[in-house]
Amino acid sequence: AQKVTQAQTEISVVEKEDVTLDCVYETRDTTYYLFWYKQPPSGELVFLIRRNSFDEQNEISGRYSRNFQKSTSSFNFTITASQVVDSAVYFCALSEGLGAAGNKLTFGGGTRVLVKP
Amino acid sequence: GAVVSQHPSWVICKSGTSVKIECRSLDFQATTMFWYRQFPKQSLMLMATSNEGSKATYEQGVEKDKFLINHASLTLSTLTVTSAHPEDSSFYICSAPRTGSSYEQYFGPGTRLTVT
């Protein structure tokens, strides 16, 4: 069965610091997708970044970057130069199988990020 | 871009009554939709998979007779919480995958249910 673990429950930083969120996943499938979502106080999930199990490169999208390490089953996420508006709960999620990007998701427990001015 | 809507965005009901939550895909068809539940300060947990034209698939521990799911059309799934109790108070979120080359998945804004 799939499982996603976010060991950090809460992180507090000062604005402009970088923030790295850890995510470790378990799956028996060879085809899967990993996602990071942001959930602000309004509750609506905001898609941030994703990666499938067969990509080779770690991407950077604006201030967001991902670090996928298949050998350690980790999918870490970094916010560069954090801003107060980045304060939210961040979820790592996993979906498996063919068409995995559109399959049901298993979420990690979430990491609350607080960015102080 | 693709949008998924939910209605209502929040609802307060009395214990013992039933509440219906709608999830709509606005500009694409979705043969499958997912329903998640999120208790305060917790993560999202999948409740069930809604399938157009067939019965919903419920996750272990979710009472199918209490949480009725109907995938009425290719753009609408409804979740009815029957005989609601205070412990059913939660944030309910639906999602719909958009089939195609990338199988993108889109989340609704969520429905906050409070049972008094």
Using DSSP bridges, classify how beta strands A111-116 and A10-14 pair: parallel, antiparallel or unpaired.
parallel
Beta strands in A1-117 (DSSP E): 3-5, 10-14, 19-21, 24-26, 32-39, 46-52, 60-61, 64-69, 74-79, 88-96, 106-107, 111-116
User: Which has more pLDDT, A8 or B28?
Assistant: A8
- Least Cα separation, residue B16 to chain A (angstroms): 26
Q: Which residues of A touch B95 (CB under 8 A)?
A: 105
A53 contacts A103 by C-beta, under 8 angstroms: no
Question: What are the structure tokens assigned to B79, written together?
Answer: 């979740």
CB contact under 8 A, A101 and B46: no
Name the least confident of A50-59, A68-77, A88-97, B48-57. Answer: A50-59
**Phi-psi group of B83: left, alpha or beta (phi > 0 → left; psi -120 to 50 → alpha; rest → beta):** left
* A–B CB contacts, 8 A cutoff, strictly below: 55
Which of B42, B43, B104 is nearest residue A102 as measured by Cβ atoms?
Answer: B104
Tell me how far apart the alpha carbons of residues B82 and B67 are, in angstroms, rounded to a whole number. 6
pLDDT category, B13, cuts 50, 70, 90? very high
Question: What are the structure tokens assigned to B51, written together?
Answer: 């399938």
Which of B97, B109, B110 is nearest residue A102 as measured by Cβ atoms?
Answer: B97
CB contact under 8 A, A43 and B104: no
B97 interface with A at CB cutoff 8 Å: yes
Q: Which residues of A touch B91 (CB under 8 A)?
A: 43
Q: Which residues pair with A111 in a beta bridge?
A: A90
* pLDDT tens per residue, range A89-116: 999 999 987 666 678 899 999 999 999 9
